[in-house]
Amino acid sequence: MSTAGQVIRCKAAVAWESGKPLSIEEVEVAPPQKNEVRIKILFTSLCHTDVYFWDAKGQNPLFPRILGHEAGGIVESVGEGVTDLKPGDHVLPIFTGECKECAHCLSEESNMCDLLRINTDRGEMIHDGKSRFSINGKPIYHFLGTSTFSEYTVVHVGQVAKINPEAPLDKVCVLSCGMSTGFGATVNVAKPKKGQSVAIFGLGAVGLAAAEGARVSGASRIIGVDLNPSRFEQAKKFGVTEFVNPKAHDKPVQEVIVEMTGGGVDRSVECTGSIQAMISAFECVHDGWGVAVLVGVPNKDDAFKTHPVNLLNERTLKGTFFGNYKPRTDIPAVVEKYMNQELELDKFITHSVPFSEINKAFELMLAGEGLRCVIRMDA
């Protein structure tokens, strides 16, 4: 029996207040409105951004809220005006969108859509400023327009990538955020040529995805830089060939890398969020052609300081958001790379828990264990 046009009652993990375990509740999910789709979520994974907003330190607390933004699912029904998706389509909801009409979407160079660019403060749908989730009539806020910690969610069509129905959603769900961010930062922005050297600052999930991009690009040396030496063992599986721990040297890490490489690396990708690492990542690239790409999100009051001569000497500094991918146009092709075995994802998925144990995924992340924990909605 079709549920289209009806309110669906299902389970969702609700964050009632900051830092408290999520509680699984029965919620009502309203039908999708104009330019919206309702998705049955099958798998979702936990990313630092969920934990950051659950913890709500340093940003506007917005509760009660349904978190979650890395996920895979199947379209249940579509609202008015939706023509390129239909019930049964396999999709990845994405935290940043692509309206296909604004100046950014029309530019080949940008993925910073004016309408659907990430908005961490918004808790309602754009169409009518209302939430599609409620409990006994009391609204529950959305998160990043995705709210995937729910068996059903409603998402703007511009934030939905339609993918190959053969792709295993329990694996490709991680392409919704972190893996695409790191991988795209290397292949779309740093663009190492075959045989070049690449330094990766920060060997968390995003940095290891950037290393995967370097491996796929045929980099000759992949130098991993991290303050935490326990990251090094795992990073070997991701093609990282050499390691530098800035704490193990009495000179700045950029100088260490310049010496190791006879003048600097060809490319560097910063995935830490540390301003010091951002400066080092820039200053360790070779003059004449080196390119450094910033991915990490800095603290509010950070300022990037380097001598302008470092730029005049023909080094390039870039930054990127979501690996420069346009979610609807580009992500289906990244899924194909996984299907063609060009890109490895399985090694990023270190844990899996049933939905009823979603709080375990939070505990693992807080303990710094593993890379991605996939949450199985039907279990």
Query: What is the contact surface with Zn ion in residues (CB under 5 A)?
Result: 99, 102, 105, 113
Tell whether residue 206 is a contact of ligand NAD (CB under 6 A).
Answer: yes
CB neighbour list of residue 173: distance below 8 Å, 6 or more residues apart: 43, 44, 45, 70, 71, 72, 92, 374
Tell whether residue 296 is a contact of ligand NAD (CB under 6 A).
Answer: yes
CB 147 to ligand NAD: min, Å = 18
Classify 33 as helix, strand or coil: coil
CB 372 to ligand NAD: min, Å = 9
CB neighbour list of residue 40: distance below 8 Å, 6 or more residues apart: 73, 74, 75, 76, 151, 152
Q: Which is nearer to Zn ion, 160 or 244 (CB)?
A: 160
231 contact, one of ligand NAD, Zn ion, none, CB 5-8 Å limit per kind: ligand NAD
Of positions 11, 34, 48, 221, contacts ligand NAD by CB under 6 A: 48
Residue 15: which of 132, 150, 178 has the closest Cα? 150
What are the angstrom distances between the C-alpha of 8 and each of 30, 89, 133, 134, 370?
7, 19, 10, 11, 34
Q: Which helix (H) or strand (E) holds 280?
A: helix 275-283
CB 352 to ligand NAD: min, Å = 18
CB neighbour list of residue 143: distance below 8 Å, 6 or more residues apart: 50, 53, 65, 66, 67, 68, 69, 123
CB 40 to ligand NAD: min, Å = 25
113 contact, one of Zn ion, ligand NAD, none, CB 5-8 Å limit per kind: Zn ion
DSSP labels for 352-378?
EEEGGGHHHHHHHHHTT--SEEEEETT
Of positions 190, 198, 205, 293, contacts ligand NAD by CB under 6 A: 205
Q: Which of residues 322-341 bind ligand NAD (CB under 6 A)?
A: 322
Active-site positions read 47-49, 69-70, 99, 102, 105, 113, 117, 177, 372
What are the angstrom distances between the C-alpha of 232 and each of 32, 53, 212, 244, 292?
45, 28, 15, 9, 22
CB 11 to ligand NAD: min, Å = 27
DSSP labels for 113-137?
-TTTS--SS--S-TTTS--SEEETT
Of positions 12, 30, 37, 295, contacts ligand NAD by CB under 6 A: 295
Tell whether residue 306 is a contact of ligand NAD (CB under 6 A).
Answer: no
348 contact, one of ligand NAD, Zn ion, none, CB 5-8 Å limit per kind: none
CB neighbour list of residue 23: distance below 8 Å, 6 or more residues apart: 13, 14, 16
Of positions 54, 133, 143, 201, contacts ligand NAD by CB under 6 A: 201
Burial (CB count within 10 angstroms: exposed 0-12, middle 13-18, buried 19+), residue 150: buried
**What Rg value do the Cα atoms of the chain yield, rounded?**
21
Of positions 297, 333, 366, 379, contacts ligand NAD by CB under 6 A: 297
Of positions 156, 215, 231, 372, contacts ligand NAD by CB under 6 A: 231
Tell whether residue 204 is a contact of ligand NAD (CB under 6 A).
Answer: yes
Span of 121-129, 268-276, 310-318, 341-349 interacting with ligand NAD by CB under 6 A:
268-276
Tell whether residue 32 is a contact of ligand NAD (CB under 6 A).
Answer: no
Tell whether residue 246 is a contact of ligand NAD (CB under 6 A).
Answer: yes
99 contact, one of Zn ion, ligand NAD, none, CB 5-8 Å limit per kind: Zn ion
Tell whether residue 174 is a contact of ligand NAD (CB under 6 A).
Answer: no
Q: What residue has token string 């830092």?
A: 19
Binding site for ligand NAD (CB under 6 A): 48, 178, 181, 201-207, 225-228, 231, 246, 271-274, 276-277, 295-297, 321-322
